[in-house]
Chain A
């Protein structure tokens, strides 16, 4: 026997759960303004999620998947994107989308059950939310292929949950990304649950990161509750891809502190002990304490940020509620660029139906 290949998976963490610095901090941690902007985005995401869950309970949204406890994964990823890069989301990554120019109002509109929420006024080339799990992984490879064909120094990031990495689409995407050396970064939000199915039931792999090895490129783990680790490693992967270094996979280890969505009741399957333990490690408090301990962040700054974010989210909710309702025939809008003449019959039928006050 001879050994023909050998692999390992690295794990990165800068702040431990008590916010103590446990590794040499990267350069960007000297930029207090940038750190505060990361903190603000995490707070915004949390406040948005809390508001959305409340609005769903009041019947103002249809369903909503909170990212409670996963704000560092989202914001660290979003902050690594440049304006000209493209993001292919899943559905729990509002924090990424906010950093890339999507507005809280737009996501409220989307989750209220209205297509217009995906019209993204800011992130014009980003894909819309992908509900069919892992399909976005393949779209990301396509966008990355386009960048490569046109020799543009642009990068795609795509995200899915650890459950999503069981889908064929995910494996096909990483395989292609490796084979074609594509400028794409795969982020896996490993929040330990795919609805009720645990991380252990999902795969026998010790890490999700090692799936990248099967596709021929590097996969690493980061502490997903440590925004410094997430941002540092995602931005390195993005810049590496931009420089022709090919794909990477980053498994961010975190915990879903909420129900899967507002339609779920996690108390049926998620042991309370695990949840209590996970609350001790959650990312927002962890980062805040670090900012206090190492950057003289104070309570009044914190309150000002929280107040500002609450106002922004409340205003977005009001804007959504005041948004003019679509008319029925708008369901025919944007089906085709060149509307087939034969379809006009149905279009007119729908208009007539509503004129008669049809229910």
Chain B
């Protein structure tokens, strides 16, 4: 049994798929010689050579646009944005082209690519390095947004994302890149996209989370368990398109729902989940849905980031409020 971190699991998935599929290439700033600023692509250059592992010039619009062109030819780029805060120059290509090339050409061309980016707070990084803006991308038709929460899910979901014939934005919660390890057998087994995972079953409340907040939700469930409160924890994993069926089924059972995300509250993905529950699960609820989120402020610099980010205490407190 080899216990590995999420960082290692992502690397393991890249190596597996690049070995299996000659069309898969890796590109981005500092991904080749340096193995990525988070060391996620370490040793890929040595293993697969400079034709398949490419340091790009410093330009995100170029990375996205070029990856789209490659993908139209059936090359499968896994392109890295160094931090989520630096994706925005690429937004034009993501929304105007990646998300609609298939649609615009009536299926003649497609865009089988993965955009990877570390995201989220908790590592005392400088400004612009710590925000979570998954909601911006979750509003774009034609792309998937996937966020792993454990090493095993990172491995299985990244394989699925690379194999998927459409563009996937794969956001990696950098706070937990190396926080804990799991046994992740290198079997090449993908996990399903478009599906939530039930990480812990429970009967009193459903806690919905993703990314680094998933570990906080699990921790909150432990705290609550000690007080005899049984929480079910759902890892959303694919943020777009949402698997509401799993969430609604859980709420039918528990009658309570707390949604957790570190992104700002207004128009966050939590709002969409709550709206779906209001439309399709209202009569399952015994109390209003509650959100535990970041605030509608600019993501604060490191000195206040702990005050901004939700944690197990805030989550368990919210659960007690709805019960």
Which A residues fall within an 8 A CB radius of B? 62-63, 111-115, 131-133, 163-164, 166-169, 194-197, 201-203, 263-264, 268-269, 325-326, 328, 330-332, 335, 343, 346, 349-350, 353-354, 358-359
Contact = CB atoms under 8 A, between A and B. Distances in A.
A328 B55 contact: no
Contacts of A346: 265, 295-296
A164 B301 CA distance: 23
Interface of B: 29-30, 33-35, 37, 55, 57-62, 85-86, 88-89, 124-129, 265, 295-298, 300-308, 311, 313-314, 317
A113 B123 CA distance: 11
Contacts of A115: 127, 300-301
Given A131-B128, A132-B88, A197-B30, 18 more contacts: A62-B126, A62-B301, A112-B302, A114-B301, A131-B85, A163-B57, A166-B57, A166-B59, A166-B62, A167-B60, A201-B57, A203-B57, A263-B37, A264-B37, A268-B33, A331-B295, A331-B308, A359-B311
A196 B298 CA distance: 30
Nearest to B297: A331
B29 A332 contact: no
Nearest to B128: A131
Contact of A358 (B59, B62, B85, B314): B314
Nearest to A354: B307
A62 B124 contact: yes
B34 A63 contact: no
A335 B303 contact: no
A307 B102 CA distance: 66
Contact of A62 (B30, B302, B313): B302
A191 B296 CA distance: 38
B62 A113 contact: no
A113 B302 contact: yes
Contact of B125 (A63, A132, A167): A63
Q: Which of A132, A164, A326, A331 has the most CB of B within 10 A?
A: A331
Contacts of B124: 62-63, 113
Contacts of B35: 268
B111 to A, nearest CB: 21
Contacts of A331: 295, 297-298, 300, 304, 307-308
A129 to B, nearest CB: 8
Given A115-B300, A346-B265, A168 B61 contact: yes
B89 A169 contact: yes
A46 B317 CA distance: 49
Given A195-B29, A358-B314, A202 B295 contact: no
Contacts of A350: 295, 307
B86 A335 contact: no
Contacts of A62: 124-126, 301-302
Contacts of B29: 194-195, 197
Contacts, number: 109
Nearest to A334: B298
Nearest to B264: A346
A353 B300 contact: no
Given A197-B58, A202-B57, A343-B296, A358 B313 contact: yes
A131 B128 CA distance: 7
B52 to A, nearest CB: 16
Contacts of A332: 295, 297
Contacts of B33: 196-197, 268-269
Contacts of B60: 167
A203 B33 CA distance: 17
Given A167-B89, A331-B297, A359-B313, A326 B126 contact: no
A201 B265 contact: no
Contacts of A194: 29, 58
A195 B34 contact: yes
B303 A325 contact: yes
Contacts of B307: 328, 331, 350, 354
Contact of B298 (A113, A167, A197, A335): A335
Nearest first, the 4 A-B pairs at minimum CB distance are A113-B302, A196-B34, A166-B57, A328-B307
22 contacts: A62-B126, A112-B302, A113-B302, A113-B303, A114-B303, A115-B127, A131-B129, A132-B128, A163-B57, A167-B89, A168-B59, A168-B89, A201-B55, A201-B57, A268-B34, A268-B35, A326-B303, A326-B304, A349-B295, A353-B314, A354-B307, A359-B311
A304 to B, nearest CB: 35
Given A350-B295, A358-B313, A359-B311, A197 B89 contact: no
A114 B302 CA distance: 7
Nearest to B312: A359
Nearest to A112: B303
A62 B300 CA distance: 13
B297 A113 contact: no
Residue from B85, B129, B297, B302 having most chain A Cβ neighbours under 10 A: B297
A203 B57 CA distance: 7
Contact of B62 (A168, A264, A349, A353): A168
